């Protein structure tokens, strides 16, 4: 397959329309697509004859020129290829299904976010053909066979269970029909955000609309663009404030937006719903004097970057070492106790929530806890999750937003989670004397099947003791166990 | 009369009086303070007087070529400057009294005198008889406008080195006029004086006339002016300006000296925000402007600023629109300033412009395509004897949205209204192409230019198409 490059025009140009589509025969000198610059219309012709295989730059895209815009086969190549193919034994029926791979143990279904090839394209083993989104990342999927991609049955945005076909390889479309392959609608079959650019040949008709007044709701170009950017479903809007109900960009303020659940959102939804429905949660809350921990971390901060959350993590690591029940999980009729103090840190990311893990926190100094937490959180925000699923206990902190206290849902298969509130200014009473200071409220959510109230109270009391006297046990440069 | 008002507006220009009338419509008790004449710069020193002079000038201009239309004028055609002036004065007086009746009809208290703030919501008014009066306002709208900038260091003789304030009311015409500044005011007045027999030279520091307009408009107007005998010197600075017994002598950056009877300084306008006591209310100026947000609110609660004084857009219709917005916000109706503001130049041919210019679109990096249509292809332009000019529209190449419309030609200032309405509704050029325009009109040029942006103008030869090869 050969790459077709656009001419090197002097100023950025926009592809106005493609006159050829994948599978079309190209005659030398025939117009491939039209492009516009600020003041000129350019017709771009094919320098060689052949077959257009794939369009790489879609219509309405602006670029600087001298860029690969399509892939093609030369006519000569094509005939040669079909000769060699004819010699090769055709697999039974001539149809090979392309399956949704299982990219990870927990993966049950995958969503196709992007097709890198179009129907009719010839693909090679090892060539990336589509991208899927799992609950953790976007993964590029390579072809496992050579062949002609006769039909895509799961469109972009569509989901399908693993090991189910997403497309079929075949020399002839009729073979796929005979194979019984039918396109499946994306996810549930309803409210599919209609693909903007169809491969329908009418999409290439002249650009003057025949009836601009009639038909459905009119939408201004600015509104359409804004809706695309913000995921606003324009079907939710009956009409806008423009003439004849024209929807303007100003009408989108306050419009409901409808977005499909991302893989991450789905994973969060199912894990937490499962947790709340199967684990008998109970909650224990304690307010402690945050002054000493504040003073301690500020003192340490002179030597290395560290936060109050790192002090809380260190204290939890120590308490987790003391109380094995908090490192345990229930599996059928057994309680499995983990020797390692792996602490999950809840991190909000753009699409939701992830829990990177600080492995063996019990063996780390405060400086190491601070540095490692920073690193795993940064990595998580970039989409790389460390130690996923290995935590025995999770810490979630909303204190930076001024939240006083909250109760969290246990992240299975863990037995408990600690929700940390803000170190806020408050009145402290000690020995009948009132003074101003800072307090912090922590809430422990526990799995009652593994942990009882007494144990939870002990854990919190120990945590309070440690946080109120950090200098007694916490030596920044030393492991404290 | 009580000295407490819901709304006190300082300045009765097109911003202030509209705010007053709208405030009264909304049921507010409104006072409008003016130190000079009702109508502000627009009615007294700007829009209206200049259009009155331009009407006489355009007729003179047309009479020169009346033979082309088969009308022979025998004898001497003479412009009587005195009569032109008195006609203009009558028009101004008529408009002022009409405005006064409107204000009376809405029960707006018109207070004559010089106002200054004396703390938030407190206004000191020095009345025409010299007496002082204190007025309390729940809401204050500062609408003091602007005045023409003068160049420091140039001769202070206002009879010979003038601004538009004086030029519009000259009792006699100069023989030779040097216009400094090729902006809207400079171009309009050059265009007005030239047909009346004045030899005009325009000097503009920037590389083209009308620097805010689309470049193609500027260069075309410059050619039209030059062909008519108006000397245009863009990209030129005035190095020195001296009074001599023969008149005013200016030395240009090229070394050339230009002698003239009078000089019109049209280098811009400055906000008239001095001596208003703004600081007493906690209001600070930024380069003379009192800055506001989209609701026309100043940083101090209950104090608004509209029109030229806030520096957003120095146009009368922008001031009026802002006046409505400020009055509504003051009287409890939340409003923000929205939509594109058209700008017009009343040269002949006229210029109408709304939305992005080519230069702005390039600066922002918007991918655009410019569709153009020469007005000479229209039946109406030929029939009316006004074939010069063109329409240019900018289309967003990816979304097809109409980004700007620029028109140079007969009646362009009227035609541009339709383009403003379309931009306000954020339409695409395809939709404009789908609108039915009356035939024969000059506005058809807008539709045709939109069609050209779609490579399908009906009344123009097909665009030349470049051909390039995609290489393997």
* Residues B29 and B12 reside in one and the same domain: yes
Identify all chain A residues contacting B398, using CB atoms and an 8 Å cutoff.
14, 60-62
Q: Scan for tokens 């620029």, then name that residue.
A: B406
Any domain includes B198: yes
Distance, CA of A245 to CA of A238 (rounded, Å) = 8
- With CB atoms and an 8 Å threshold, state whether A225 touches B472: no
Mean pLDDT in residue range A328-351: 89
Look at chain B and report how many structural domains it folds into: 3
**Residues B399, A224: C-beta atoms closer than 8 Å:** yes
- Looking at the complex, report in whole angstroms how far the Cα of residue A359 sits from the nearest Cα belonging to chain B: 48
Inter-chain CB proximity B470 and A69 less than 8 Å: yes
Which of B243, B267, B291 delimits the end of a domain? Answer: B267
B177 shares its domain with B126: no
The rounded percent of chain B whose pLDDT value lies above 70 is 100
Span B170-215, pLDDT tens digits? 999 999 999 999 999 999 999 999 999 999 999 999 999 999 999 9
**Element at A174 (helix H, strand E):** helix A173-179
| Residue B337 resides in a domain | no
The pLDDT assigned to A198 comes to: 35
CATH of the domain at B197: 3.50.50.60
Rounded distance, CA B48 to CA B105, Å? 23
* Of B267, B287, B303, the domain-final residue: B267
> Does the reported pTM lie above 0.80?
no
Please provide residue A306's backbone torsions phi and psi, each rounded to the nearest 5 degrees: -160, 155
Omega prior to B349 cis, within 30 of 0: yes
Query: Could you read off the pLDDT of B230-276 as tens digits, one per residue?
Result: 999 999 999 999 999 889 999 999 999 999 999 999 999 999 999 99
Q: Which residue has the tokens 């396109």?
A: A183
Mean pLDDT of chain A: 82
Query: Is B382 part of a structural domain of the chain?
Result: yes
**Residue B465 within any structural domain of the chain:** no
Q: How far apart are CA A309 and CA A315, in angstroms?
A: 10
Q: Are A41 and B368 an interchain contact pair (Cβ–Cβ within 8 Å)?
A: no
β-pairing verdict for A96-99 and A165-169? antiparallel
Q: Is the pLDDT of residue A192 over 60?
A: no
Packing angle of the helix pair B316-330, B16-25 (nearest 10 deg): 40
Query: What is the average pLDDT across A122-147?
Result: 83
Residues of B in contact with A206 (CB under 8 A): 456
> Which residue in A49, A68, A197, A221 has the most chain B C-beta atoms within 10 A of its own C-beta, making it the best mutation to test that interface?
A221
End position of a domain, from candidates B250, B267, B284: B267
Domain that residue B223 falls in: 161-267
Closest A-chain CA to B431: A212
Beta strands in B257-340 (DSSP E): 257-260, 262-265, 269-271, 303-305
**B135 strand-pairing partners:** B123
Could you tell me if B10 and B131 lie in one domain? yes
pLDDT value of residue A187: 42
B90 plus B196 within the same structural domain = no
| B222 and B138 belong to one structural domain | no
Look at chain A and count its residues: 481
* Cβ contact A317:A342 at 8 Å: no
Q: Is A222's CB within 8 Å of B401's CB? A: yes
pLDDT of residue A68: 87
- B276 neighbors B298 (Cβ within 8 angstroms): no
Distance, in Å, from the CA atom of B359 to the CA atom of B213, rounded to the nearest integer, reads 9
Facing residue for A213 by CB, picked from B433, B434, B454: B434
What are the tokens at A228?
């695309």
Whether B153 is in a domain gets the answer no
Closest Cα of chain A to B367: distance in Å?
7
Considering the domain architecture, whether residues B255 and B287 belong to the same structural domain is answered as no
Residues B16 and B133 in one domain: yes
Cβ B210 vs Cβ B223: under 8 Å:
no
Of the residues A145, A281, A448, A475, only one is catalytic, namely A448
> Both B93 and B223 in a single domain?
no
Instruction: Kindly state whether residues B11 and B142 are assigned to the same domain.
Output: yes
Distance, in Å, from the CA atom of A192 to the CA atom of A327, rounded to the nearest integer, reads 44
Spatial neighbors of B158 by CB under 8 A, at least 6 apart, are B166
Largest CA distance in chain A: 97
- Residue B155 falls inside a structural domain: no
Distance CA A193, CA A111 (A): 14
Residues B177 and B281 in one domain: no
Tell me how far apart the alpha carbons of residues B149 and A54 are, in angstroms, rounded to a whole number.
62
Q: Is residue B398 domain-shared with residue B250, that is, in the same domain?
A: no
Average pLDDT of span A355-367: 90
Q: What are the residues of chain B with a beta carbon less than 8 Å away from any beta carbon of chain A?
A: 338, 358, 362, 367-370, 396-401, 425-428, 430-431, 433-434, 451, 454-456, 463, 465-472
Taking residues B440-459, report their average pLDDT. Answer: 95
CA atoms of A288 and A293, how far apart (whole Å): 10
pLDDT of residue A209: 36
The Cα of A2 is separated from the nearest Cα of chain B by a number of Å equal to 6
What's the pLDDT at B2?
53
Q: Which two tokens stand for residue B101?
A: 């009746």
Q: Measured at the alpha carbon of residue A378, what is the angle toward residues A375 and A379, in degrees to the nearest 5?
A: 85
Q: Do B470 and A44 touch (CB under 8 A)?
A: yes
Q: Name the more confident of A469 and A218.
A: A469
Q: What is the pLDDT of residues B70-127, one digit of tens each?
A: 999 988 899 999 999 999 999 999 999 999 999 999 999 999 999 999 999 999 999 9
Top-confidence residue, B351 or A155: B351
Would you please indicate which residues of B are annotated as catalytic (active-site) residues?
439
A224 vs B contacts (CB less than 8 Å): 399
Which of A9, A38, A242 best tests the B interface by mutation, with the highest count of B CBs <10 A? A38
**Highest mean pLDDT, choosing among A89-103, A208-222, A307-321:** A307-321
B277-293 pLDDT, tens per residue? 999 999 999 999 999 99
Structure tokens at B142: 């500062």
Distance from CA of A309 to the nearest CA of B (A): 40
Question: Which of A207, A214, A242 would you mutate first to test chain B, the one with the most B CBs within 10 A?
Answer: A207
Q: How confident is the model at residue B444 (pLDDT cuts 50, 70, 90)?
A: very high
| B121 CA: distance to closest CA in chain A (Å) | 34
Would you say residue B289 lies in a domain? Answer: yes
Cβ–Cβ gap B471/A248 under 8 Å? no
Would you state the pLDDT for residue A35? 93
Name chain B contacts of A4, Cβ cutoff 8 Å.
Answer: 470-472
**Which one of B356, B367, B393, B449 makes the best mutation probe of the A interface by having the most chain A beta carbons within 10 Å?**
B367
Tell whether B326 is covered by a domain: yes
Chain A CA closest to residue B394: A38
Per DSSP, the three-state class of A428 is strand
Instruction: Give yes or no: residues B439 and B387 share one domain.
Output: yes
- Rounded to whole angstroms, how far apart are CA atoms A98 and A165? 5
Q: Of all residues in chain A, what percent are helix, strand and coil, respectively (each to 5)?
A: 30, 30, 40
| The pLDDT of residue A90 | 40
pLDDT tens figures, A242-298: 766 788 877 887 777 667 777 788 888 888 999 999 999 999 999 999 999 999 999
> What number of other Cβ atoms are within 10 A of residue A302's Cβ?
7
Closest C-alpha to A309, from A376, A363, A381: A376
* CATH number for the domain that contains residue B370: 3.30.390.30
């Amino acid at each position: 397959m050969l790459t077709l490059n656009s001419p090197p025009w002097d100023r950025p140009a926009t592809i106005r329309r493609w006159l050829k589509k994948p599978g079309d025969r190209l005659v030398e000198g025939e117009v491939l697509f039209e492009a516009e610059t600020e003041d000129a219309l350019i017709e771009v012709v094919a320098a060689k004859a052949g077959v257009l295989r794939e369009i790489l730059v879609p219509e309405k895209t602006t670029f600087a020129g001298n860029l690969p815009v399509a892939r093609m086969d030369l006519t000569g190549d094509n005939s040669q290829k079909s000769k060699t193919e004819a010699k090769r034994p055709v697999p039974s029926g001539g149809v090979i299904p392309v399956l949704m791979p299982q990219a990870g143990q927990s993966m049950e279904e995958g969503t196709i976010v992007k097709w890198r090839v179009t129907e009719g394209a010839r693909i090679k083993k090892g060539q990336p053909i589509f991208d899927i989104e799992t609950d953790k990342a976007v993964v590029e999927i390579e072809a496992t066979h050579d062949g002609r991609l006769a039909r895509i049955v799961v469109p972009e945005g569509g989901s399908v269970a693993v090991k189910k076909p997403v497309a079929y390889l075949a020399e002839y479309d009729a073979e796929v029909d005979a194979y019984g392959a039918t396109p499946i609608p994306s996810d549930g079959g309803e409210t599919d955000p209609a693909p903007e650019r169809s491969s329908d040949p009418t999409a290439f008709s002249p650009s003057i609309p025949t009836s601009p007044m009639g038909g459905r709701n009119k939408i201004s170009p600015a509104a359409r663009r804004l809706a695309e950017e913000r995921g606003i479903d324009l079907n939710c809007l009956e009409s806008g404030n423009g003439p004849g109900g024209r929807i303007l960009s100003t009408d989108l303020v306050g419009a409901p937006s409808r977005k499909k659940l991302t893989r991450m959102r789905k994973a969060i939804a199912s894990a937490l719903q499962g947790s709340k429905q199967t684990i008998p949660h109970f909650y224990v809350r304690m307010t402690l004097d945050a002054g000493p921990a504040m003073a301690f971390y500020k003192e340490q901060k002179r030597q290395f970057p560290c936060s109050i959350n790192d002090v809380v993590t260190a204290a939890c690591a120590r308490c987790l070492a003391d109380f094995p029940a908090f490192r345990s999980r229930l599996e059928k009729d057994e309680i499995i106790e983990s020797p390692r103090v792996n602490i999950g840190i809840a991190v909000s990311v753009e699409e939701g929530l992830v829990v990177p893990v600080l492995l063996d926190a019990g063996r780390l100094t405060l400086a190491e806890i601070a540095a490692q937490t920073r690193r795993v959180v940064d990595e998580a925000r970039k989409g790389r999750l460390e130690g996923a699923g290995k935590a025995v206990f999770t810490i979630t902190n909303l204190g930076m937003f001024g939240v006083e206290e909250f109760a969290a849902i246990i992240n299975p298969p863990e037995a408990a989670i600690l929700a940390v509130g803000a170190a806020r200014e408050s009145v402290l009473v000690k020995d009948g004397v009132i003074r101003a200071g800072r307090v912090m409220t922590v809430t422990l959510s526990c799995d009652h099947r593994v942990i009882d109230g007494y144990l939870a109270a002990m854990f919190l009391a120990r945590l309070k003791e440690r946080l109120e006297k950090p200098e007694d046990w916490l030596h920044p440069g030393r492991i404290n166990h | 009369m009580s000295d407490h008002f819901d709304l006190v507006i300082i300045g009765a220009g097109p911003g202030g009086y509209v705010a007053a009338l709208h405030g009264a419509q909304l049921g507010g008790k409104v006072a409008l303070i003016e130190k000079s004449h009702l109508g502000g710069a627009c009615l007294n020193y700007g829009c209206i007087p200049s259009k009155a002079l331009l009407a006489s000038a355009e007729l003179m201009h047309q009479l020169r070529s009346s033979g082309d239309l088969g009308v022979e004028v025998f004898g001497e055609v003479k412009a009587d400057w005195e009569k032109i002036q008195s006609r203009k004065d009558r028009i101004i007086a008529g408009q002022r009294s009409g405005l006064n009746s409107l204000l009376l009809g809405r029960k707006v208290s018109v207070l004559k005198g010089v106002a200054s703030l004396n703390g938030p919501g407190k206004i000191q008014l020095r009345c025409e008889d010299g007496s002082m009066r204190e007025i309390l306002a729940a809401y204050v709208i500062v609408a003091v406008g602007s005045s023409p900038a003068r160049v420091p260091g140039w001769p202070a003789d206002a009879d010979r080195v003038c601004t538009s304030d004086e030029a519009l009311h000259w009792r006699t015409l100069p023989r030779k006029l040097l216009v400094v500044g090729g902006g809207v005011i400079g171009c309009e007045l050059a265009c007005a004086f030239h047909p009346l027999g004045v030899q005009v030279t325009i000097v503009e520091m920037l590389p083209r006339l009308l620097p805010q307009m689309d470049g193609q408009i500027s260069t075309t107007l410059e050619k039209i002016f030059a062909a008519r005998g108006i000397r245009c010197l863009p990209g030129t600075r005035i190095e020195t300006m001296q009074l001599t017994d023969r008149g005013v002598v200016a030395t240009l950056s090229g070394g050339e000296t230009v002698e003239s009877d009078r000089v019109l300084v049209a280098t811009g306008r400055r906000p008239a925000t001095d001596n208003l006591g703004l600081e007493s209310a906690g209001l600070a100026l930024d380069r003379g402007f009192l800055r506001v947000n989209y609701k026309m609110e100043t940083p101090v609660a209950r104090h608004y600023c509209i029109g030229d004084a806030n520096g957003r857009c120095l146009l009368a219709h922008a001031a009026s629109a802002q006046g409505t917005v400020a009055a509504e916000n003051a009287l409890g109706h939340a409003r923000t300033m929205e939509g594109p503001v058209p700008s017009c130049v009343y040269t002949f041919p006229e210029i109408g412009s709304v939305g992005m210019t080519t230069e702005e679109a390039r600066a922002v990096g918007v991918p655009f395509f410019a569709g153009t249509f020469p007005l000479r292809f229209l039946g109406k332009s030929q029939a009316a004897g006004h074939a010069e000019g063109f329409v240019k529209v900018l289309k967003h190449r990816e979304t097809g949205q109409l980004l700007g419309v620029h028109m140079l030609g007969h009646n362009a200032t009227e035609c541009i209204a339709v383009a403003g309405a379309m931009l306000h509704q954020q339409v695409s050029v395809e939709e404009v192409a789908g609108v039915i325009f009356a035939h024969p009109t000059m506005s058809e040029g807008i539709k045709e230019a939109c069609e050209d942006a779609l490579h399908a103008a009906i009344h123009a030869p097909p665009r030349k198409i470049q051909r390039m090869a995609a290489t393997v």
